Structure 1
Amino acid sequence: MRGEEGPAEYIKEALDVLKVQRIDHGVRCLESDEVVERLRNEQIVLTVCPLSNVSLKVVGDLRDHPLPRLLAEGLKVTISSDDPAYFGGGMLTNHIACAEAFDWDEAVFRQLTRNAIEEAFVTPQRRQELMARLAAA
């Protein structure tokens, strides 16, 4: 479910009707305290694509992106890429852009990576391997 194109109510409907496990983008959840609380309590991951959000004019400038607020709200967020050939940025480019825009330290990126590993569609063994690599890095 994409949570950037419609109001927060769309996210609520996706959770209620479709029983989704993740919300792509999800930045519009901040329009509803109820939706934010539910995402936080149920630990529904938001796969946020910051450079795509800028390209699609969800935000005018990356520095104005709600990613820091999503994290401050205690939401489970990952940084993802959305059609890199079209929007001009793969995973690394999105991470570097966020580091520059938000002046995040390593701890923030470790948490974002941990969130991504926890929510990846992989086997438990692969998840364990990735978590071990993150811990060793």
Structure 2
Amino acid sequence: MSSDERSKHQEEASKRMDTAQYNICFNSSTERPFTGAYWNHKGNGHYDCAVCGERLFDSQVKFDSGTGWPSFWDAEGNIAKVVDKTLGMTRTEVKCGKCGCHLGHVFEDGPQPTGFRYCINSASLDFKERKQ
């Protein structure tokens, strides 16, 4: 994505997001565990990027990891993975592959069949109910 496209997403998002949500999506901040809208959400549908609307995760791969953040064992959409060496450790950050929105991190301690745990900020997501 070009810097112009990212600037456009940031400008548009700044008009509709509160400061905390904007900082999570564009400054790689993190919401406190057990506080986000989707950590214990049980809806049937899909989770999209809160910035650009890209479909990212299906509710059928969501699981309770006990961490206080929405967790998924597989990604459905365009996810970019980036090495993150902040906080004195090496982790894999996940971002929306379309707009670059910070989503959270992925770890290799999740359930089978993938073994992944995508640990995602609720603030980075919008939920869309599945149409019957």
TM-score per shorter chain, which class? under 0.3
The structure with more strand, counted as a fraction of residues: 2
Q: TM-score, normalised by structure 2?
A: 0.28
Q: TM-score, normalised by structure 1?
A: 0.27
The structure with more helix, counted as a fraction of residues: 1
